[in-house]
Amino acid sequence: AIDAFVFAEQYTKEITSKLEVFIHGFEASALGVGQTGTVTTYCQILGSSLGFAISPCRYLMATQGTLSLSITALYSATVAMWAQMMLLQIGKVFIFFLLPLGVLLRSIRFTRSAGGALIAIAVGFYIVYPLMVVADYALVKDDIFMDSATGIPPPYASIAIPPGPHHEQGACRGDAEYLSTLMNRSAFLEPMAYWVIIVSILLPVMNLLVTITFIRWLSSFIGSEIEVSQLARVV
């Protein structure tokens, strides 16, 4: 058996690690496009001072916006997972500091309400929040994690990173493969949306909302009252 807290941390670290790999790949691809798209060959007409310039890969610069948007989205997803890891770490601190303090305040007549609120917060972030992260794994494992038993890759195990094109002997090389990958729906567009929107943003937000709702319910159950809007602003 494995502790839910440990499992939640391992899952969050693995998702973060994969997102960072995607970011490095897209940054390398964007660098390759930038270097290749700006290469210019100057051709001088024989016997004159006239000439013309050729930039065979310049049209690829139009895709820089897509790469920049992808990198920004992946960075946002990574930050969201960092925040989830931070909340898991905070949950450990809460159970050791807020829970004893809450029990102490709960035993005093004039601070019972505050004590109940602290107990609810400690229990919520130490028990409910990591369990919600474990539930995230159960929801996405068939889509992004390889099943060792079958060996069949899941549909969104990775995001296809467009290979950076290069300039060679006055011609653009690798541009066809780069563009086909960038426009591939099943290999690039759908996995990108799944990793960024579902795995890294929607599910962490739902985890936090469920945890806050539980904290509010538990605090009212033990005789306290917490405003959800105020708690959300604090978190």
| Residue 32 exposed, middle or buried by CB count within 10 Å (0-12, 13-18, 19+) | buried
Which residue range forms the structural domain that includes residue 216? 4-234
pLDDT band at 199 (very low <50, low <70, confident <90, very high): very high
142 or 171, greater pLDDT: 142
- Return the C-alpha torsion angle 132, 187, 17, 194, nearest 10: -20
Which residues 6+ apart lie within 8 Å of 160 measured at CB?
181, 184, 187, 188, 191
Which of these ranges, 117-126, 159-168, 212-221, has the smallest mean pLDDT? Answer: 159-168
215 or 151, greater pLDDT: 215
The per-residue pLDDT for 2 is 60
Percent of the chain exceeding pLDDT 90 equals 36
The per-residue pLDDT for 72 is 94
Which of these ranges, 19-23, 66-70, 97-101, 110-114, has the smallest mean pLDDT? Answer: 110-114
The per-residue pLDDT for 129 is 94
Q: Structure tokens of 119?
A: 């107990």
pLDDT band at 137 (very low <50, low <70, confident <90, very high): very high
Q: Is the confidence at residue 230, as pLDDT, over 60?
A: no
Which residues 6+ apart lie within 8 Å of 181 measured at CB?
160, 161, 162, 163, 187, 188
Q: Are 103 and 119 in contact (CB under 8 A)?
A: yes
The per-residue pLDDT for 1 is 44
What are the φ/ψ torsions at residue 167 (nearest 5 degrees)?
-105, 130
The per-residue pLDDT for 37 is 75
Rounded CA-CA distance 74/82 in Å is: 12
Domain count, the chain: 1
The per-residue pLDDT for 48 is 63
Q: Is the confidence at residue 106, as pLDDT, over 80?
A: yes
Rounded CA-CA distance 141/147 in Å is: 9
Q: How is 174-186 classified by DSSP, letter by letter?
A: SHHHHHHHHT-II
pTM assigned to the model: 0.82
Q: Taking residues 171-182, report their average pLDDT.
A: 82
Rounded CA-CA distance 22/1 in Å is: 32
pLDDT band at 170 (very low <50, low <70, confident <90, very high): low
Q: Are 57 and 40 in contact (CB under 8 A)?
A: no
Q: Calculate the average pLDDT of the chain.
A: 84
The per-residue pLDDT for 74 is 95
Q: CB-side exposure of 127: number of CA atoms within 13 Å?
A: 10
87-111 burial code (b ≥16 CB/10 A, e <16):
bbebbeebbeebbebbeebbeeeee
| Residue 189 exposed, middle or buried by CB count within 10 Å (0-12, 13-18, 19+) | middle
